[in-house]
Every structure is written in C-alpha cells, then in structure tokens.
Structure 1
Amino acid sequence: MTGNDTTPPPKLHPVYSVSNIQHKVRVLDGVKVTYSAWVKLFKLHARGYKVLHHIDGTPPPAETDATYSEWCEIDAHVLQWIYGTLSDDLLSDASEDESTTAQAWNRVKNIFTNNKGARPALENEF
C-alpha cells in the first residue's frame, strides 16, 4: 500500500456488529414473550441492521449475481438471530438443515398462525 492510496476500506455490513442478539430481541416462548411482540421487535432490529429484506419476502439475488455469496453469508447471520431468539421447544420445531432466513421466519409464523396446538390460544388469552 502506498501513501497515495486514497481508497477507503470497505464498509462492514451492520449485521456483523451484533454479537448477541438476545441483548436486543428477547427469546420467543409464546408465554412471557408473545409471537406478535417478538415479530415487532425482530423486524425493528432487522430494519435497523439493514436485513429486513431477508424476512419480508424479497427474493434473494440470483446464484449467478456477484452479490449472492455475501447475501448467503448475511442470511446465515440473520438465521442465527432467529434460532438464537427461540425457546428450546420452538427451536426444535422451526429449525431445519439448509434453510434460508425467510424459510425459518415462515416456519415460526406458521407455528403461531396455523392454529396448531395450544400456542395460538395461549397468545390470544393474553
């Protein structure tokens, strides 16, 4: 590197600044933390850390796109956020191998909105 190099260093994506998502989003258990409260808080942080497009239905870039590799890496971080903010019971129901963040987000949503089991009834009582 020469003294004349004025190229600024590449900016690190904000997602990399989160070391423990549980300090920002509480663990969803369906009792103390309801699904609707968790969604609001998670989306707030996703927007603030510029990753909302990983959960809002925006399609990923094509595999041939130059940004696809970076998108996959960031998606893995956001997927860790989801898994890291689920109770043990929900984690076993929502996690799958080779999942994208959007797929996991929809699995959690389906647990609470498809009237499966007692969770939706519990949330409605509160």
Structure 2
Amino acid sequence: MTNDTVPPPKSGLHPVFTVSNIQHKIRVLDGTKVTYALWVRLFKLHARGYKVLSHIDGTPAPATTDDSYESCDDLLPRVLEDESTARQAWVRVENIFNNNKGARAAALEQEFNALRLANMPSLEAYCQRLRELAGMLKDVDAPVTDRRLVIQLVRGLPGEYDTVASYINQTLPNFETARSMLELEVHRKSGREDTATALAAPTVTPLIFSVI
C-alpha cells in the first residue's frame, strides 16, 4: 500500500481515524521548498480522500440538532490542538501566507533577479532555487512565466557557459529543456577536464637494474 492510498475504513469508522501521522502523506509547509499553493493542493486532495474537506472549504457546520453534528464535533479534538474549528485554523494559515503580499513579492523578486550560479553550490541547486522562488512568487500573485524563468536561468550563468547560454537565448526552450542542456554542458566540461588531467600526468620512467 502506498502513502497516497486511502485505506478502506472499518465498518462505522470514519476514514480520518485511520491516519496515524499526516506528515507521512503531506510534507511540512515551510514556504520555501514546499510552497503554500502546492501544500494547499496536496492537503485538499487528502482531505477529500478522507472525507473531511467540508471542515475547511467553507461548508457551513451542521446544526446542533443534526444527526451528524455529534460525529463532526468529536472529530475536531483529534485534528486540532486549540479551541477553534478546522475552518478557522485553515483561514489563519491562509492569512499568514496572503498578508503583506506586496512586500513579500518585492523581496522575492529581488532575490530572483539577483540569483547567480556562482553563489550556489551546484547547477542543480541553482535551478532548484529558481523553481522555488518562482513558486513562492506565484503564491503572492506575482507569477513567473516559463519564458522569464529561462531568461533568468541564463542571466545568472558565468562566462564559461556563454556558448550554450547564447543558444538557449536564441531558441528559448522550456525551462526543463534548458536545464538539461546546461547539465549536458557540465558533463562535457567535466569529461574534458578529466582527459586533460590524465594527459598532463607525469610519465614515470621505469628503473632498470643490471645484475653483474
């Protein structure tokens, strides 16, 4: 059984009670590697699967005289630590990530435009950070197009990538294709450097001993 599979509930048992640790299914929301928009989509997917989406999507709570009210009320202490509804907690998280969008967008734009490969540990880390920043900008209503992402990818490259960078600028492929082109260039440079090192290695002349 995979982590994304909702186990069949036992008779009379609500599916949500089968969850022992939701973090095994949904990554922790940190706002960087896991953006708010991505977290919301994943959370809602699981909430729907476990039949608790109505607790967070704004659906009015059942009346106290409704037969389902008691089961709904019993569920809340199992998923919350404070005295609020799931909807109220959901809205508080939403407000945290939506407040001050203008200021957050400006700061993210500055980091996005200033990011350079030379300041990152690897090409992989550089590409990943660009993706993360693009995701965070989308969360604050300042989406980055794939074309702009590619342009910034090339913009942050050092001089030794000029040839492949020029080709990418001319053809403007999608981000993943441009990333693959750069990875191939890294492998090519690495192979050439290994060959040069091998050719430059000093030759050891064997000693010949004569027995008289």
Q: 1:100 aligns with which of 85, 89, 93?
A: 85
Name the structure where helix makes up a greater proportion of residues: 2
Does 1:28 pair with 2:29?
yes
Does 1:111 pair with 2:124?
no
Task: Give the distance between the partners of 1:115 and 1:108, measured in 2 at CA.
Answer: 14
Q: Highest relative contact order (Cα 8 Å, sep 6+), 1 or 2?
A: 1
Structure 2: where are the runs of 5+ without partners? 1-9, 109-135, 139-143, 145-212
Alignment-derived partner of residue 67 in structure 1: 68
**Following superposition of structure 1 onto structure 2, how do residues 1-126 of structure 1 map, counting pairs within 5 Å?**
10-79=11-80, 97-115=82-100, 122=108, 123-124=136-137
Aligned 8 A contact 1:30 1:119 in 2: no
TM-score, L = length of structure 2: 0.43
Q: Which amino acid aligns with 1:103?
A: Q
SS in 1 for 2:16: helix
Task: Give the distance between the partners of 1:119 and 1:76, measured in 2 at CA.
Answer: 34
Q: Percent identity?
A: 66
Task: Give the distance between the partners of 2:97 and 2:69, measured in 1 at CA.
Answer: 31
What is the Cα deviation at residue 78 of structure 1? Answer: 3.9
CA offsets 1:81-106 (integer angstroms, 9 cap, x no match): xxxxxxxxxxxxxxxx3110000000
SS in 1 for 2:97: helix
Q: Which amino acid aligns with 1:69?
A: E
Task: Give the distance between the partners of 1:75 and 1:32, measured in 2 at CA.
Answer: 29
Structure 1: where are the runs of 5+ without partners? 1-8, 81-96
What is the Cα deviation at residue 29 of structure 1? Answer: 1.1
Superposition RMSD in Å: 2.5
Larger deviation: 46-55 or 109-118?
Answer: 109-118
CA offsets 1:45-70 (integer angstroms, 9 cap, x no match): 00000111111100111122232121
Q: Who wins on radius of gyration, i.e. which is larger?
A: 2
Question: What is the number of equivalent residue pairs in this alignment?
Answer: 102
What is the Cα deviation at residue 119 of structure 1? Answer: 5.8
Alignment-derived partner of residue 93 in structure 1: none
Aligned 8 A contact 1:76 1:100 in 2: no
Aligned 8 A contact 1:75 1:101 in 2: yes
Task: Give the distance between the partners of 2:39 and 2:71, measured in 1 at CA.
Answer: 27
